[in-house]
Structure formats: structure tokens, C-alpha cells
A and B are shown apart, each in its own frame.
Chain A
Amino acid sequence: MKQGNTIVIDPVTRIEGHSKITLHLNEDGRVEEARFHVTQFRGFEKFCEGRPFYEMPSLMARICGICPVSHLIASAKACDSLLAVRIPPTADKLRRIFGLAQVLQSHALSLFYLSSPDLLLGMDADPAKSNLFGVAEKNPELARDGIRLRQFGQQIIERLGGKRIHPAWIVPGGVSEPLTATNRDAILDALPEALSIVERTLEWFKSTMENFREEIASFGNFPTMFMGIVKQDNGLTFYDGKLRIVDASGKVVADALDPTRYSDYIGEKVEPWSYMKSAYYKPLGFPDGVYRVGPLARLNVADRCGTPLADQELAEFHELQRTAVLSSFHYHHARLIEMLYCVERMERLLNDAEILSLHVRAVAEPNALEGVGACEAPRGTLFHHYKIDDQGLIRWVNLVIATGHNNLAMNRSILQVAKHFVRGHHLTPGMLNRVEAVIRAYDPCLSCATHALGQMALHIQLLSPGGEVLDQVARG
């Protein structure tokens, strides 16, 4: 809808959570400012205060229905730190498998359910058909593959955690139950099919890239830094390691940072127009310290994946650009390479000689009053930071979520897309969809970012210099 010189898109569709977008026009009718407003709020950080620390993993998993496992992992790691224990090696490996299964199903949701309509049917497709049903009509194999891959990831989570959503299997000190041989074999039996699906989807995706030259050039294609956790050998990881930051040229600007000291180098700014905080790299200040996290960032900061097929694809990915790969459109490509890595890595872990060990939990009382847990969630780096009192009750919580890290970059991306595609004072479905599509590339989870619950919907507004709403579109 257009009101004055402002375009409003409300709600944004095919993302996780509630948001709206406002586009502000100048006197010439050109877009000069864009804002991504996250309009939901839940406040997990406050209502956890006073709860026993050992409840935190289960409570934190409720933040999100898509990536509860990442919150479980980060929370349990923060609690491991409060206990001051080193968890048994098998528990470490099982947590990694659990996390990889979740990344696989979450990436499948993002790519197949939310973004494949744009990629298969085009950005200008009839909005009524830009959904999974439209995909099913045009390319049923692609839709079936998406469903199968989601099932595959969810079934692993269910086999390990007892249920698909909000499993409570990961606990402070390790995991609550060992892996059985039956479940290991069942997962291993399904891996070849999952691998085939990812490989053919990757080939299909690469074949479509030629159709999106304009989008690749304008979808968040600008210099920023990139941040992610890497292994000690600088390889890709989702579970544990050191933080690494590279700049737009691909040069390492900070390396071997201790994730538990995140607050030394990451600041968070609150804007009055959104419930989502904006993270920035402290040494460069706000907003110059803009950086991106998630699949694109992880592949920009990692030297290698560490598995053969993913490494082959990573080498090809790095050929897209001599510097860091900058266009946020390539988040999709990075997501697919990570799915390949997940399948390969799970196979290796499941074949580990110790994976069926019964020693999966370290038991202790709290030995520290402050703990930080960090991991790579599907959408990027996740920090859980807790302080407790002598009774083990939570006194303070801070959560830094992937989507919050990307907030500044998402706002800039929307502005870039809007400047490129919005013409005059009238909105077309294709323009609206491109503004949404650039957000989808980041796969934001606003339920996580605001620690709030909700469906994703979009609201775009076009505002005049005087603040009058010229046009707006609401969907959801």
C-alpha cells in the first residue's frame, strides 16, 4: 500500500516470524531509505530469570519450532560451562549429529518450501502460485525432494531426541540417552538417498543461476565483513571452535577469537522501530561494523569443509568471486553446499567406533556463576550467556541470535533491492516479491531474533518525504 511517499509491505511472507518493511521516497519518487521492522516480541531473556539453570535447555528450545536444536545446543553448552565439566566424547559427537540433522531440515525448509517458488517460477510469477503447490505443479520431483529431505532431518531428530519439535535430549553435561545400534543403522541406511537429493538439487540450482544475474547483482551485493565459528584448522563446523571474521576482500580481520568473550567485540544496538536488535563489530562501531553470518558467511570464513564432495563444491563456490562472495543471493548456493557437508559429516560421525558408547553424560553441581555457549545455528552464530546465583537460579540472560547479526545487512539489502527495482510511486507484485526474496535469502527467523513466536508475514510501505504513506502492500 502506498501512503504519501512511503511504501509499506505488511506482512512479509514466506519467512519465519512477523515483520513489515517501509520504503521512504525522496522528492523525485526514488527510494532513499528502507527499514525492516520486526513487529513481534516475547522476551525470553526476562522471563527466564529466577528459573533453575538446568531448565534452560528445555525453555530455550521453545524459542523456535524450526531450530530448537541450535538453542538446545547453545544452552546446554552454557550450562556445561556453569557445571565446569567436559562432556564425554560420545556425547559431543551425538550433539554434533543432532545439530547437523537440524541444519539439514532447516535449510531444506528455507530452500524448498520458502525460496524454491522464486527460483523455479521466477520473481515475477503470479503470487497465487508462488508457493510449494506451484512448485509441485511445475516440478513435482523438486517438491518431493524438499519433502523427503525435511523428513530425513526430522526423523533423525526424532530418533535421537524422541520427538521432532522441542526434543529435550540434550542436557547439561551431555545427552540423556545413548544412541542405539538400530537407530544408527536406520539413519545410515537413509543417507545415500539424502545425498542424491542434495546433489541433484545443487546441480539444478547452479543451472538456474544464469536466470538471476540482475538479482545476484542487486540482492545485498555490497562489501561487509563476515563472521562464523571455524574449527581449529579453519574448517567448517556447526558445533564448536573459534570465531573468525573476514572482510569483503576475504582478508582475515580477526581470528581465533574466543566465542565466550563475544561481548568484547560484538555490540548490540536497539532501534525504536524494531524489536530486533542490530549487532555490530565493536572495533568499527555502529553502523560501520556491519557483518553477515549464516551459510554465506560460514563459507567465506572457512578454508575448507573437510568432506570430499562439499570441498569440491566449496572450491567452485569460491570461484564466483575473487574476494569474499558478496551477494546475499548466494546464501541459497551456500545453503546447498552446507547440506552436502551435513550428510557427509553425519556419515563419518555415525561410523565412529565410539558412537554407541553408553557414557554420554557428565554429572556435576554448578561450579561457576557465569557461562556462555556458542554454536552455529542454520542461520548463523548463536550465543547464549547466563549468570546464576549460589542456588543455581538464573539471574541474567543474554541471547545473541543469527538474525540479529544480519539485521544491519538485511536493512541495507532491502534498500539496494528497492533502489534497483522500485519505479515511481507504484508497486508491482514483482517488485514486492524481490524485496521479500532478498530477506528470504537470509532465511531470517524472527521468532528466534526477538525470541518471539509467530508466522512470517510481510507489510511494505512507501512513504513520502513528509511521512505520508503513498502505497502499501500487506500479505500474510
Chain B
Amino acid sequence: MPRVLIIAYGNPLRCDDGIGWLVAGELRSRLASPGVSVLQLHQLLPEVAEAVSRVDSAIFVDASRDGEPGEVRCARVTTPSTKASFSHQLSPAEVVGLAQELYGTSPQAFSVSLVGQSFEHGEGLSRSVTARLPHLAARVEGLTKQILSGGPVSLPEVEV
């Protein structure tokens, strides 16, 4: 059983929304280890809750609209106070909440996102975002190694 599950998700046909989808391959090579598993998804569905319930830590990797394009933002994921009304697309917090509700266990969870610039129809990332993709991968790699080392996790909220 992997100790850390990385869930990299997004829509590669909506430009920068594909950040998570596109970085998944890079994360697989950087973090090839029996203790780490990488899921590449278009969106978060209820099924993800089952996978999340079986690990010690989960890291959600996605594009974000909140912030300056190119910023890498990190946060702890906490269980939401309100529940989703729609099961087609969940937030990381709702996935963690559902894991707790259905399986009685949820891991410590983090979100690492890269702020995108364009979310229009189309393939490929905008130039400024492409340049920051290695920083996103490095941040996820660093966080994963901190978790695997068993030490305290330091979480700078924003890296520019």
C-alpha cells in the first residue's frame, strides 16, 4: 500500500487547466517508489475517496484561478463544513470528507496548485505557466519527501 497518494488532475483540452494532468508523468519519474502512487485524472469523482481512504497522506495537484499566474500555492486540506450537492466534480476537501464518512478514515491531505493564465478551449499551457511547471513538480516532490521522512511538514503557502 502506498503511503502517499498523489492525485494530479485537470482537463488537458482547456489549456492551463491541464497542469495537473500534464505534470503527472513527471511526478511518476521523480517519485518512483513503492511508497508513492500517482493518479492522473480529469476530475475528482466519488471513487477517489476510496483510494484516498487507503493511504497515510494525499496530495492533490491541480491548476488554480486564485492568484497571480505562475504562483505555486500550497495548503492543507481540511474536511468541509458543508457537503457537495453534485457528485460529478468534487473538491479535494469533499473527497477527504467522503473518505471519512464512508470508510471511517481519511489521510492528512495537501493541495499544491499552480495558478493558470488561460482556461480556454485548446491544448498546451500558456508560456508563463509552462516555465513554472518544474517548480510545481519540485514542490510536490519536496512535500512528498518530507512526508516520507516522517518529519514535520513545512508548508509555505505561496511560492513565486
Q: Answer yes or no: are A and B bound together in one complex.
A: yes
Name the one of A13, A137, A150 contacting B47, with C-beta atoms under 8 angstroms: A150
A137-B50 in contact given A128-B85, A131-B86, A165-B42 (Cβ < 8 Å): no
Residues of A within 8 A of B50 (CB): 144, 147-148, 151
| A455 interface residue per 8 A CB criterion | yes
A113 to B103, CA, bound (A): 17
Contact A131 B42 (CB under 8 A): no
A147 to B50, CA, bound (A): 8
Residues of A within 8 A of B87 (CB): 113-114, 131-133
Name the one of B49, B85, B101 contacting A131, with C-beta atoms under 8 angstroms: B85
Considering only CB atoms, which chain A residue lies closest to B43 in the complex?
A: A65
Q: How many residues of B contact A (CB 8 A)?
A: 17
A44 to B98, CA, bound (A): 37
Minimum CB–CB distance from A429 to chain B (whole Å) comes to 13
A133-B98 in contact given A148-B50, A455-B88 (Cβ < 8 Å): yes
Interface centre among A65, A143, A146, by most B CB within 10 Å?
A143
Contact B102 A140 (CB under 8 A): yes
| A154 interface residue per 8 A CB criterion | yes
| A252 interface residue per 8 A CB criterion | no
Residues of A within 8 A of B101 (CB): 133, 136-137, 140
Interface centre among B42, B89, B98, B102, by most A CB within 10 Å?
B102
A150 to B88, CA, bound (A): 13
| B76 interface residue per 8 A CB criterion | no
Contact A143 B102 (CB under 8 A): yes
B65-91 interface code vs A (CB 8 A; 1 in, 0 out): 000000000000000000111111100
Considering only CB atoms, which chain B residue lies closest to A144 in the complex?
A: B102
Minimum CB–CB distance from B76 to chain A (whole Å) comes to 22
Contact B42 A147 (CB under 8 A): no
A133-B84 in contact given A140-B101, A143-B102, A165-B42 (Cβ < 8 Å): yes
Contact A113 B85 (CB under 8 A): no
A-B contact count (CB 8 A): 48
Minimum CB–CB distance from B43 to chain A (whole Å) comes to 9
Minimum CB–CB distance from B94 to chain A (whole Å) comes to 8
Residues of B within 8 A of A140 (CB): 101-102
| B46 interface residue per 8 A CB criterion | yes
Interface centre among B83, B86, B101, by most A CB within 10 Å?
B86
Minimum CB–CB distance from A106 to chain B (whole Å) comes to 13
Contact A147 B47 (CB under 8 A): yes
Contact A154 B42 (CB under 8 A): no
Residues of B within 8 A of A128 (CB): 85
Contact B83 A133 (CB under 8 A): yes
A132 to B98, CA, bound (A): 10
Contact B49 A147 (CB under 8 A): yes
A71 to B86, CA, bound (A): 26
Considering only CB atoms, which chain A residue lies closest to B40 in the complex?
A: A163
A131-B47 in contact given A136-B101, A143-B102, A165-B42 (Cβ < 8 Å): no
Residues of B within 8 A of A147 (CB): 46-47, 49-50, 102
Residues of A within 8 A of B94 (CB): 133
Residues of A within 8 A of B83 (CB): 131, 133-134
Contact A154 B47 (CB under 8 A): yes
Name the one of A13, A113, A165 contacting B46, with C-beta atoms under 8 angstroms: A113
Tell me the A82-104 residues at the B interface (CB within 8 Å): none
A249-275 interface code vs B (CB 8 A; 1 in, 0 out): 000000000000000000000000000
Supply 10 A–B pairs (Cβ within 8 Å), ascending by A.
Answer: A13-B86, A131-B87, A132-B87, A133-B83, A133-B87, A133-B101, A136-B98, A146-B46, A147-B49, A150-B46
Question: In the complex, given contacts A146-B46, A151-B50, A455-B88, what are 12 additional A-B residue pairs having Cβ atoms less than 8 angstroms apart?
Answer: A113-B46, A114-B87, A128-B85, A131-B85, A132-B46, A132-B87, A133-B94, A133-B98, A133-B101, A136-B98, A136-B102, A150-B46
User: Which 6 pairs of residues, A with B, have the shortest CB-CB distance?
Assistant: A133-B83, A132-B87, A113-B87, A136-B101, A131-B85, A151-B47
